[in-house]
Amino acid sequence: MDYRSVHRRSIEDRAGFWGEEAARIEWQTPFTEVLDYSRPPFARWFVGGTTNLCHNAIDRWLPTQADSRALVFVSTETNEERVYTFAELHREVQRMAAMMLALGVARGDRVLIYMPMIPEATFAMLACARIGAVHSVVFGGFASVSLASRIEDAAPKLVVSADGGSRGGKVVPYKPLLDEAIRLSAHKPARVLMVDRKLAAFEPVAGRDEDYAALRATHFDAQVPVTWLESNECSYILYTSGTTGKPKGVQRDVGGYAVALASSMKHIFRGSPGETYFCTSDIGWVVGHSYIVYGPLIGGMATILYEGTPVRPDAGILWRLVERYAVTVMFSAPTAIRVLKKQDPSWLSKYDVSSLKALFLAGEPLDEPTSKWIAESIGRPIVDNYWQTETGWPILTVAHGIEETPTKIGSPGLPMYGYDVRLLHEQTGEEVGANEKAVVAIVPPLPPGCMQTIWGDDKRFVSTYFDSIPGRQVYSTFDWGIRDEDGYYFILGRTDDVINVAGHRLGTREIEESISSHAAIAECAVVGVADALKGQVAVAFAVLKDPADAATPQQRLALEGAVMGVVDRQLGAVARPARVHFVNLLPKTRSGKVLRRSIQAVCEGRDPGDLTTIEDPGALEALKQTVRG
Ligand code: PRX
């Protein structure tokens, strides 16, 4: 089939195209309208249809593959390996669902999941989906202040958590961070369900905390039927960073999401029922939601849940798992590949990875050397794909399930069906020509699977995403891009203050707020700086209340460590800046806006650009000297 004509049809005949794609999932009652776009930019897909994500992920597969693998849990941290068939997963999810109901969770209530990569985290997500509760998974690498703001915004009735996780052989206790987050939050969840892995001892809070193992025993034989939900009810909230310090709760629906994922499994990932999918992301990120949990299972595939790093016990671990489970579809991030590139290359040839149809990489720009190196090393096709927490599934890639369109190194590819992608001039809003840099935008309605709104804040949804480009109501990705003569897109970094550290999306404002809470700091600026391994790292520039606090190199070092410690404790080690420089002044415009792009340019040794609005040119010069040390 000709991909470009499929794409054209998906835009020109949305109802026809998505009406057909909708047949890839099971509906309890059919929808009456494919798309209701009477209130732009809010799109409602498959109106009136009722379905359930958990039904499509598990129950639907019971008649044909109850005893096939559904969830494979591998932890190289605790040396565990457990396989759950669809029938077993069905039982575990019903137990978890029964526990949630017993703890007072009802349809529409929020359940916050703060968990390491263990099967119970997946059970919790699917159990919420089953009973119509709204889950909000918070990445286990986030610490108490990040967690508190999410608890406050989502107002969960229940939190599901664990005593701890483990990374690189080091135990990370979760419970103290959770207790502190609940203390900080104005909203107090009524109950906390604790999975005790016996990694980190903790004190349960009487009357609030419940032990998972004990409660599971009392609900061992539970049968919990699925709750049929209207397609546009909310399935989950996933917080993501933007320009302000307050994370946005990306809200997703039920039917549109299920259809988009089922469709992407077929057309983009080419996975078939009975095969195995291995995604190395984390359930705390959107890639984990779509392509560890929901996508593979909705596609009838087994999914591997991996707790561990790509290099422990050795750099062959990922490929060993591919061989052992005959993985056909693999999904990872460029950073993981760059980590492997530093290891002994013989690990890559030790295992038979011929089962792989392709390795998909996303989350950050895939640089040419990394792309070539991994393609040559594993001898399998590499497919870059570009998308966002907001969209839930790829915006740009190649749909090899439709047509074997060629890939181009450095480009994620072409607009996916359903996405009307344009490159618009930042100031005029006009479309630009080939090879001209502009903002990557999407003409609404957004396709199924994309965010419905920002949780609890329709106004912010419209003003954040649809009001930034002059003259027209279009969705801004806040990414720069160009398109070549063949229609292939290239992504050139963010237009806003979001940075991407090892594929983790972080807001510089959040980090700045955290640093500023240190008593010695008057103000600060955080920028993302190019890094050979992580893509970007955060670098902070802080102005002290009293410059005498960092007069000597020893004082500077101690204070830098103390500031990093604050970020570690409040936001988590993922957000910790690589460097904290102390300066006398931040370069600002005359209206007081910090010139982050110029600071970033200086850090990367580039031309700082137009400085006509700068208040004090000496500030940038001094900063340059500090960076050069
Ligand atoms: O800047 C783009 C970058 O990551 C952002 C989205 O991050 P997140 O919400 O965490 O979702 C990740 C889903 C894969 C984008 O705005 N990004 C993501 N994929 C790519 C990318 N940049 C370049 N190439 C990619 N393939």
pLDDT at position 612 = 86
Q: What is the pLDDT of residue 246?
A: 85
pLDDT for 48 equals 98
Q: From the CB of 512, is ligand 1 less than 6 Å away?
A: no
With a 6 Å cutoff on the Cβ, whether 370 touches ligand 1 is no
**Cα 122 to ligand 1 centroid, rounded to whole Å:** 23
Indicate which atom in ligand 1 lies nearest the CA of residue 494: 1
Mean per-residue pLDDT pooled into runs of 10, the chain (629 residues): 96 98 98 98 98 99 98 98 98 98 98 98 99 98 96 98 96 97 98 98 97 98 98 98 88 98 98 98 98 98 98 96 98 96 90 97 95 95 98 98 96 98 96 97 98 98 96 96 98 94 94 96 96 96 95 96 97 96 94 92 90 89 90
Measured CA to CA, the distance from residue 193 to residue 191 in angstroms comes to 7
465 lines ligand 1 (CB under 6 A): no
User: Phi, psi (5° rounding) for residue 467?
Assistant: -115, 10
Among residues 495, 629, 501, the alpha carbon closest in space to that of 577 is found at 501
pLDDT number for residue 344: 87
Name which of 35, 51, 194 is nearest 124 in CA terms: 194
Q: How many CB atoms lie within 10 A of CB 26?
A: 14
Report whether residue 477 contacts ligand 1, using a CB cutoff of 6 Å.
yes
Ligand 1 centroid from CA 121, angstroms: 24
Ligand 1 contacts CB of residue 494 (under 6 A): yes
Residue 440's pLDDT is 98
Which residue lies with its CA nearest to atom 25 of ligand 1? 386
Element (H, E) at 199: none
CB 363 near ligand 1, within 6 Å? yes
pLDDT at 524: 97
335 Cα–ligand 1 center, Å: 13
DSSP 519-557: TTEEEEEEEEEEETTTEEEEEEEEEESSGGGG-SHHHHH
Could you tell me if 48 and 231 are in contact, meaning their C-beta atoms sit under 8 angstroms apart? Answer: yes
Token pair, residue 470, equals: 């002059």
Does the Cβ of 260 fall within 6 Å of ligand 1? Answer: no
pLDDT of residue 230: 98
Q: 386 with 363: CB under 8 angstroms?
A: no
| pLDDT score of 603 | 95
Q: Is 388 in the pocket of ligand 1 (CB under 6 A)?
A: yes
